[in-house]
Structure 1
Amino acid sequence: MIPNNKILLAALFWCCSLSLFAQSGEWRIPAPDIDSLAKADARMDYQRFAAPFPLDLTTEAGVWTINNGVNGTWKLTISMPTARGLALYLDRVKLPAGATISLRNQQGSQGPFTSKDVSALGRLFTGFLPGDEVTLTYRGTIFPTDQSPFHVWRADYAYRADLFQPRSAGVALNFGNSNDCEINVNCNTGNGYDDERNGVARVIAVAAEGSFYCSGSLVNNTAEDGRPLFLTAYHCQAGLTPLYDLWRFDFGYRAPTCTDPVSEPPFTAYNGSLFHAGREESDFLLLEIVDPDFNGESHYFNGWNRSDEDVSGISVGIHHPVGDIQKVSNSTFTGLTIWGNSINWESITTPPDHHLRMIVDEGSAEEGSSGSPIFDPDGRIRGQLHGGNINCPGTNVLYYGRVFQSWTGGGTADNRLSDWLDPLGLEPQTLDGTYLNGNGLGRILRGNANWLGQPVENVRLILNWGSSIDTVFTDANGDYEVIRPENTTSVNIATFYDEGDEDFGVNITDIISLRRHLLGLDTLDARTLVAADVTNNGVESVGDIVRISQVILQLSNWIDRPNWLVYPAILDISGLPSNIFGPFNIGIANPDAGIITIDFEVSKNGDVNDNVYGN
């Protein structure tokens, strides 16, 4: 269910009291204290199957085999005794063209991964392999040790026997480990929902605190444009520190027939997502899959019904219990009823009328089923699974957060569905599912311009890609978005903003603040020092006081600077750079990433007190 309270990372990263043992190309990590992990898990309603172990490894830790003067193969073996499975996380990933990364052991392999698999934040999740030892392999251009194309920053240790069941072969995460009451989706119980099941996926939810299983579904929107919006459960990340760019979505993971297969069936995995909206009361979470490989492929986007009513007739839930292959459950007699009481989920209590209650006639549900859709007889989603009382064998009662309540949610775009599922403003009660070609965000540059956290509208950005030039303006939320040309490795950005006269927001108090700083009575921070250096010579001086005084008296303009400064948030301003007003040349480490974010800080020239809009 939902964590009782946020787990302290210090408690989870047990390595704080352990040592690493290293040989050339091999790193052995001592087994963790399972009792400590169990105590941490006892504080949670929702169950993780793997706990994190921080690492700090570059190519210097591994060994090279030189193929020729340019290319080679690099390997690093990492072992953790008693692990049921292992996964690695890389950051600062800058793979050159043609280079690959893979994870292997005697049980199977993950990958190969290329630059297209790297997230917008330059991170890569390898996925899990069963067993207590894995070998990370890089194939490509040889790099000096001080120019590593990636950094291994974390290993996840699968330790829960009930949530992670390794197999003697293959790369199964938990294949075949759900309870005996579960029914494969290709059995009679799932008849008539052949399309709907194609839109349902297993989710590996990654947080700073570890790895978790959930389920969820692609959802259609009124534009029917193939935008990969994905509905799952809010409690899949509540109380945690979600790393959405590393979440993985596995589609088509099911048995080909009603019978349990002997070997694990294949699936199609997509990596990375963005948060759009979520609300605890109806337990919904809406994400967007950002894997570029999703685009151009045909997918089934499930429809929905936001009506305020009970559902009669057969209702069907499709889900991935404990990360297993796709299962199905149904209610053939009672359907779905609006639950008029509040529900105590231990850490929270949800309000009355926010859930649909389902008494299961066939099938079951388990950890990992959370977020899975419940379909009405018309094949439309009425809600997503929050939890319930699970008995195998016995009576199963499930509660689904209602689409009806999630539609308006808390009244803003980040806590309701309507903005995302009805972009055309048609206000329909229902929308059918359909097959559409994926049309995700693709190669996007986006970001925000703000003054001390407040959005700034109408900031003009001129982006020179080398082959083309784009001009965009920030909206009322301070946001901008533009499609990046293919294979661009840098962009030159000129920034402009104009509001008010040059003395707008500048007065005698700014002069006093700068004077006190020069006399050593006060200390200005880096941001206000930038605003104070109006003569743009990299040094605060009496000359800056004179220039501010002249502007206040309307005897001069700023001369050496524009009226407003708009600079990248990542820019190091501690040294008072002379190019504070650009243009700025920004490198793009991963041209294949779906989304890259560049935010901007806005500052008024001469506003030493940083109070042009009040504090």
Structure 2
Amino acid sequence: MVKKFFLGFFLVFTGSIFAQTIDVGGPLSWHFSHDKNFNSVPEFTLPNKYIEELIRENDSLAQLQKSAFKFGVELDVELDAYNFFFWDIIKKGRVGRLMVKSQSAISLNFIFDQFKLAPNVHVHIYSSNHKKLLGAYTSHNNNSNNTLGTDLIHANEVIIEMYEPFDQMGNSMLRIGEIIHGYKDIDHVLGIKVNESGACNMDVICNDGLPWTNEIKSVVRIVSGGSLCTGTLVNNTAQDGTPYVLTAYHCNPQTMGNAVFRFNYDSPICGSQSVANSQAPNGSPQTINGSSLISSNDDSDFGLVQLNSVPPSSYDVFYAGWNNSGVISSTAVCIHHPSGDVKKISFDDDPLQSSSQTGISNNMWEVETWERSTTTEGGSSGAGLWDQNHHLVGHLYGGSAACGNFLSDFFGKFSMSWTGNNSSNPTKKLSNWLDPNNSGVNQLDGYSPNTPTQALDGAITSIELSSDVFCSAYIPLEFVFKNNGANNITEAEFDILIDGSIIQQHQWVGSIANNNFTTITFSNSIPVYNAGDHEIEVRITSVNAQTDQNNTNNSFVKNFSNYPNTTLLNLEIELDCWGSEISWQIKDSINNVLWEVPSNYYADVQPNGYTVNEIICLENGCYNFTIYDTYGDGMQGAQYTECSVNGNFKMEDQWNTNTFLTMTANNANFGSSESHDFCVNTNSIKEGNLYDVKIHPNPSSGYLILKLPSQKTLYNIEVMDLTGKIHESFNTIGDGEFDLSKLHVGCYLFNIKSNNEIVKSMCWIKN
């Protein structure tokens, strides 16, 4: 037997780090059993009269030609966490809080002009009624700018909360530099309409938008401070998925280090274009926080930024293609977020006109008038303009078009942005970034990271084992086989390897279409007779009787441990809120450590702790189990403000018929350690008075005869594997003949019950 470390718990990532918030169980203060210091949390109230003046100023600017859409007013502040937060000391660190209030605000969002969090520090932002929550923001959100902009939280009373463990106190930077009082409903929280755009705007889901499905997926809504613009995720000649977003210079891309980029903000229905009846999308917002300025130039009004992280595959984005030749397009399409609304599409069914704006010759394309009753608005700024071949040729500068008129809009020419109006400075043009290979091409098609690039591309995406630990020589195997290629897969061959050696080959026949998968289950378990740690690998050898065209995803490896001819025990530990303090060991009679988990392995979870179940494999013999607590208070968590539970533990056999050791929550304060001696004896299973029971043949391939002493008694028979899973259950009066050939190869336990009690348990081996 060897030492074994178990994996008992993972933190849950919501949407992954691409969405840039992590679920750590919510703000710690929400778990305080008695929040006695809440009234000590300081309040920062925004001046309502000054806000009203700023709103009037915003609204007057909105009467001018198109610009970034203003949904909120921005107030500069300097609120450093270490100077303005109230701090509560808790068991493992401290929690700091500040309340921000702004009368009549529909939403609040924040810009941290100093943001750099130390490891294990996290920040939440939530409404005072706990109904709205952002975060946790963690060190995953750190970036080279040391700044962060948050998404909107729809409340007028908001608490910013920061947690620091004792060993990281004072090691972070967190300062609020700007608070945005939102006074327009851009996220449909009031339920009046989606938001502010004119009713004539056409939703991208409408029939006219269907040919532009790919380009629609490239368009993002940009929230930067209190302003809204539109941007386009754009392809480069390396086609490597670098997340460049093209927008307008007048949208201030240099401040978008704090921006929130939202993908797929599309109405799920086609609005009527006569009344504002579009709808907001369902589900969680698909966002990326922050970007870095790459290049910009006022001559053609462009800005290029690079997102802080790559959009995950679940966002299903598209990188738009482009044409830098400056050739006049016969028709054009614009996809945009007017007034920050759900995504809209506009059509110019006539040739574009060259125009000179802002004192620069021929720097713009002019859309003389929009067709199909479409338009653009403030908030559409920066939106892409595509030609009839689905290539970007411009980005929205401004104009006077609106619902009810036939006036012009102007787009900065992509061709001038490409050269930066003949600039030699890479930060003034697009070419250095969108053609990193200096290929000199004039146009590039769009790129979808989710579109198959090979005809035949099978992938092993996971191996499914019923456990990481087996007290048996027989390992049941399932794996997931996915088709990433364009062609249907109808057959495949696989090698099964244990510790690098091929032990089986498997042929599969079926049908899998692109982006679909199937779970392949082996009819017989994989025999592994040597005890210890092992590696199982599934490897594709052919697809449709041909070589797979992408070998980077042709294999999958998983680790497991097995201990043949041992008894399986279940160790269940209900941890209090500080699992990191707990460790344990199992030693044999001569003090060899056979199984253990170190401290700092389990996680701290407030306020309810969590339960871990560990599988232990032991031979017949006597052992000692010792559990340790580094803090010296056992698992008596309920004595602390932020915890509501005490811990407990027990060890039972796999059928829950024998308990080897236990500790209840009433005795949770065991100090630094507690020990229990116990013995394992496979003959100790309860047998009652049934001795004359036989299974014949044993082993067998599945057909068997069960001989019972009484031919008048009703018996219930349960057939379970060594993990405790019941595979068959049936009743019989007296002897019976049974066919269990569909079971995997392995060892099974027959539990023979009478009057709902197990009166005998017997082992049967299927070969």
* Pair 1:141 & 2:165 matched: yes
2:563 corresponds to:
none
Shift of 1:397: 2.5
Query: Where does 1:26-65 land on structure 2 (aligned, <5 Å)?
Result: 26-33=43-50, 34-35=52-53, 38-39=56-57, 46-47=67-68, 48=70, 49-65=72-88
Shift of 1:43: 6.6
2:434 corresponds to:
421
Query: Where does 1:534-553 land on structure 2 (aligned, <5 Å)?
Result: none
| CA–CA distance in structure 2, aligned partners of residues 269 and 165 of structure 1 | 14
Shift of 1:294: 5.8
Q: 1:271 aligns with which of 274, 286, 289?
A: 289
* Pair 1:290 & 2:308 matched: yes
Deviates more, 1:127-136 or 1:378-387: 127-136
Shift of 1:384: 0.7
Query: Where does 1:339-350 land on structure 2 (aligned, <5 Å)?
Result: 339-340=354-355, 342-343=356-357, 348-350=358-360
* Pair 1:302 & 2:320 matched: yes
C-alpha distance 190-358 of structure 1, shift in aligned 2 (>3 A): farther
Shift of 1:304: 0.4
* Pair 1:194 & 2:206 matched: no
Aligned residue identity for 1:81:
Q
| CA–CA distance in structure 2, aligned partners of residues 78 and 322 of structure 1 | 26
8 Å Cα contact 1:253-1:266 kept in structure 2: no
| CA–CA distance in structure 1, aligned partners of residues 216 and 368 of structure 2 | 19
Shift of 1:70: 0.7
User: Secondary structure of the residue that 1:81 maps to in structure 2?
Assistant: coil
Question: Relative contact order (alpha carbons < 8 A, sep ≥ 6): 1 or 2 greater?
Answer: 1
* Pair 1:403 & 2:414 matched: yes
2:152 corresponds to:
128
| CA–CA distance in structure 2, aligned partners of residues 391 and 268 of structure 1 | 29
Shift of 1:60: 5.0
| CA–CA distance in structure 1, aligned partners of residues 172 and 230 of structure 2 | 33
| CA–CA distance in structure 1, aligned partners of residues 105 and 179 of structure 2 | 9
Q: 1:90 aligns with which of 109, 112, 118?
A: 112
8 Å Cα contact 1:298-1:437 kept in structure 2: yes
- C-alpha root-mean-square deviation of aligned residues, in Å? 3.2
User: Secondary structure of the residue that 1:180 maps to in structure 2?
Assistant: coil
1:179 corresponds to:
198
2:246 corresponds to:
231
C-alpha distance 293-399 of structure 1, shift in aligned 2 (>3 A): closer
C-alpha distance 217-288 of structure 1, shift in aligned 2 (>3 A): same
| CA–CA distance in structure 2, aligned partners of residues 318 and 265 of structure 1 | 22
Shift of 1:358: 4.7
Aligned residue identity for 2:245:
F
8 Å Cα contact 1:85-1:132 kept in structure 2: yes
Instruction: Output one character per residue of 1:339-384: Cα deviation in whole Å (capped at 9) or x when no partner.
Output: 24x33xxxx4443353242521132211111111111222111111
| CA–CA distance in structure 2, aligned partners of residues 29 and 296 of structure 1 | 38
8 Å Cα contact 1:320-1:327 kept in structure 2: yes
Aligned residue identity for 1:393:
G
| CA–CA distance in structure 1, aligned partners of residues 183 and 232 of structure 2 | 26
8 Å Cα contact 1:189-1:330 kept in structure 2: no
1:80 corresponds to:
102
Aligned residue identity for 2:78:
L
Any unmatched runs of 5+ in structure 2?
1-38, 272-277, 452-767
8 Å Cα contact 1:58-1:148 kept in structure 2: no
Query: Where does 1:368-379 land on structure 2 (aligned, <5 Å)?
Result: 368-379=379-390
C-alpha distance 128-66 of structure 1, shift in aligned 2 (>3 A): same
Using structure 1 for the length normalisation, give the TM-score: 0.58
Q: 2:266 aligns with which of 242, 245, 254?
A: 254
C-alpha distance 153-433 of structure 1, shift in aligned 2 (>3 A): same
| CA–CA distance in structure 2, aligned partners of residues 358 and 264 of structure 1 | 36
* Pair 1:151 & 2:169 matched: no
| CA–CA distance in structure 2, aligned partners of residues 138 and 436 of structure 1 | 37
Deviates more, 1:58-67 or 1:360-369: 58-67
C-alpha distance 330-418 of structure 1, shift in aligned 2 (>3 A): same
8 Å Cα contact 2:353-2:368 kept in structure 1: no
2:362 corresponds to:
352
Query: Where does 1:547-562 land on structure 2 (aligned, <5 Å)?
Result: none
| CA–CA distance in structure 2, aligned partners of residues 263 and 357 of structure 1 | 30
C-alpha distance 350-50 of structure 1, shift in aligned 2 (>3 A): farther
* Pair 1:329 & 2:350 matched: no
C-alpha distance 154-212 of structure 1, shift in aligned 2 (>3 A): same
C-alpha distance 265-364 of structure 1, shift in aligned 2 (>3 A): farther
2:710 corresponds to:
none
C-alpha distance 101-175 of structure 1, shift in aligned 2 (>3 A): farther
Instruction: Output one character per residue of 1:168-193: Cα deviation in whole Å (capped at 9) or x when no partner.
Output: 48xx9x94322211111111121111
Aligned residue identity for 1:416:
K
